[in-house]
Structure 1
Amino acid sequence: MSARVPGPVMVAAGCGGTGRELEPYLGPAGLDGLDFVTRSITLDARPGGPGPRLVEVPGGIVNAVGLPNPGLEHFLATELPWLVRAGARVIVSIAGATMGEYADLARRLSRAPGVAGLEVNVGAPDEVGVGLFEVREPYHSASVIAAVRREFPADRPVLAKLRPDVSRIVEGARSCHEAGATAVVVGNAVPAAFPDGRAGGLSGPAIAPIALRCVATVHQTVPEVPLIACGGVRDAASATAYLRAGASAVQVGTALLHDPTTLARLRADLETSHQEDP
């Protein structure tokens, strides 16, 4: 049985908190039936980076949160059961310092009740700075995907999350898909810097034209690769642009930090526009 590509509207990794923070803003249905991507989970707990971790800039935010999370065991004991009870389809974002860590996370999450799929974070804007596996070439990310896919059931999706690098995105998407990724998420934050020079990642509407170019290019070049777009999705128009360019689904991230009701409005707007299409 082939895995289902999630969507059409998802919560981007790290932008919905633990789910508890977002649920009050999602309308009567709450998280029920929503594809919810968790913050990136690592084997051991991480406190995150020093402050300030997030700075608003024209068109988006620069962040260097450092992937704070409680570690796998605490996540399995507390956050995952709550999300499952709330009715979410839980896609666990995973991150590791080695391929072995990614494989171990996949193996242990494959046995956890309620895990609907995995999103493999292989496109962090500063992976070396936060201690993650360094992805210098497309085959590095493909090797991680292959290691994860061997440990995770074939009937559940494995998503490869890549940076929107126009010069390398086609090769990266093709390699990850051939390695077993159900779909490719384009993209992660773009490498940037804080006003004080610290490394970070830029996200929000400012990167939407870059991510849109990446989606269109991948779809035109390797149309067999399912795509999920992420980057500046804030309303029906921005979501529809990605869907028309070839994406099967979109993720909402930075917009939720400005207005946590964005997701509920977007889902309603897309449903209405779909009903009105001839």
Structure 2
Amino acid sequence: MTTPIPGPVMVAAGCGGTGRELAAYSGPDGLDGLDFVTRSITLDARMGGPGPRVEEVPGGLVNAVGLPNPGLEHFLATELPWLVRAGVRVVVSIAGSTMGEYADLARRLSRAPGVAGLEVNVGAPDEVGVGLFEVREPYHSASVIAAVRREFPADRPVLAKLRPDVSRIVEGARSCHEAGATAVVIGNAVPAAFPDGRSGGLSGPAIAPVALRCVAEAHRALPDLPLIGCGGVHDLRSANAYLDAGATSVQVGTALLHDPTTVARLRADLSRSHQEM
């Protein structure tokens, strides 16, 4: 049995809010059929980091939002049911401070109606600073993926989200896939700093060349592994760059903060271009 891969266009984690914020910008069909990755959900609610949390820089954004979210129970009671009613294919991003927390999240989400898959955040730009499980080596990521995979149904996808680190991406992707990841998302924010020196993560077009190199390297070494490209996707050309490099799907993140119609336009453009082929 083949586990389905979301796509070809997905909303990247944390960039679509609760989904309600995108509904008015999603075209005539609304959110129906949209592959939507939620903000990263933790067991307990998180207020997030101190402000200012986001700053625009040439080519992208530096952020230190601190993974604000209402916690698992509140998410299951309010945000998930709304997304399901809207027809969204919900991929829940999860984050934890221990492997046990990741496993607990996976176990409880496996029983929640409407959860189409999980995205495991094992590539945050500053995991120690925000209190997440520290991922220093590929085997750390693989251990988390294995813990999640044991608790989540085999017929639903588990996506491993990794930073675009050219020197380690092949090893990291291989380790996560061997541990049970259905696909690997390449293009989390990369470690950066605000002008005042505070730690943050850089995202947007500025990281696209690096993320594209990582997708190409991973595809070359692991041609059978589904890859999802993320980083600077904002139009048909930027999406096709990832698809041509070997990705099977793309995620749209930072562009939505500038133009919330981006996903709707890109879905239509990709569908049109496929019909013309």
CA contact (8 A) 1:2 1:156 kept: no
How far the C-alpha of 1:30 sits from its partner, in A, is: 1.0
- The corresponding residue for 2:176 is 176
| C-alpha distance in structure 1 between counterparts of 2:223 and 2:165, whole Å | 18
- Residue of structure 1 equivalent to 2:195: 195
Aligned to 2:261: 261
Q: Secondary structure at the match of 2:210?
A: helix
Q: Which runs of 5+ in 1 are unaligned?
A: none
Q: C-alpha separation between the residues in 1 aligned to 2:202 and 2:80?
A: 28
**Rounded Cα–Cα distance in structure 1 between residues aligned with 2:175 and 2:162:** 11
Measured against aligned partners, the alpha-carbon deviations of 1:137-177 in whole angstroms (never above 9, x if no partner) come to 00000000000000000000000000000000000000000
The alpha carbon displacement at 1:224 in A equals 1.6
- Does residue 234 (structure 1) correspond to residue 218 (structure 2)? The answer is no
Instruction: Please say if residues 173 and 218 of structure 1, whose CA atoms lie closer than 8 Å, have aligned partners that are also in contact.
Output: yes
Query: What SS does the corresponding residue of 2:135 show, helix, strand or coil?
Result: coil
SS state at 1:185 partner: strand
Residue 58 of structure 1 corresponds to 58
Which residue matches 2:213? 213
- Counterpart of 2:118 in structure 1 is 118
Structure 2 counterpart of 1:18, one-letter code: T
> What is aligned with 1:130?
130
Match of 1:42 in 2: 42
Counterpart for residue 163 of structure 2: 163
Separation of aligned partners in 1, 2:110 and 2:273: 37
Deviations 1:39-66 (A, max 9, x none): 0000000000000000000000000000
Tell me which amino acid in the other structure corresponds to 2:192: A
Q: What is the alpha-carbon distance in structure 1 between the residues aligned to residue 120 and residue 209 of structure 2? A: 24
The alpha carbon displacement at 1:76 in A equals 0.1
Counterpart-to-counterpart distance in 2, 1:145 and 1:269 = 34
Taking the TM superposition and a 5 Å limit, the aligned residue runs for 1:4-43 are 4-43=4-43
Distance 1:222 1:158 in 2: 17
Matched, 1:224 2:224: yes
Query: Partners in 2 of 1:67 and 1:227 — Cα distance?
Result: 24
Deviations 1:196-242 (A, max 9, x none): 00000000000000000000000001112110000000000000010
Normalised to the residue count of structure 2, the TM-score between the two structures is 0.99
Q: Distance in 2 between matches of 1:181 and 1:254?
A: 25
Rounded to whole Å, the distance in 1 between the matches of 2:107 and 2:132 is 19
TM-score (norm 1): 0.99
How many residues end up aligned between the 2 structures? 277
Question: Which position in structure 1 is the counterpart of 2:73?
Answer: 73
For 2:147 and 2:259, the matched residues in 1 are separated by: 37
Distance 1:129 1:251 in 2: 25
2-structure distance, mates of 1:245, 1:187:
14
Can you give the 5+ residue segments of structure 2 that lack an aligned partner in the other structure?
none
Shift in Å at residue 72 of structure 1?
A: 0.1
2 CA distance for matches of 1:2 and 1:239?
A: 25
- Provide the residue aligned with 1:86 in structure 2: 86
Does residue 252 (structure 1) correspond to residue 252 (structure 2)? The answer is yes
CA contact (8 A) 1:91 1:119 kept: yes
User: Hey, what's the Cα distance between the residues in 1 that align with 2:169 and 2:30?
Assistant: 34
1:200, 1:207 → 2: CA distance?
Answer: 14
SS at match of 1:55: strand
Large movers: runs of 4+ above 2 Å: none
Instruction: Please report how far the alpha carbon of residue 2 of structure 1 lies from its aligned counterpart in structure 2 after TM superposition.
Output: 2.7
SS at match of 2:117: strand
Instruction: Give the share of equivalent positions with the same residue, in percent.
Output: 87
Within 2, Cα distance between the matches of 1:133 and 1:224? 29
* Secondary structure of 1:104 counterpart: helix
User: In 2, distance between residues paired with 1:263 and 1:38?
Assistant: 15
Aligned to 2:21, the other structure's residue is in SS state coil
Q: Secondary structure at the match of 1:150?
A: helix
Q: Please, which moves more after superposition, 1-10 or 162-171?
A: 1-10
Matched residue of 1:22: which SS?
helix
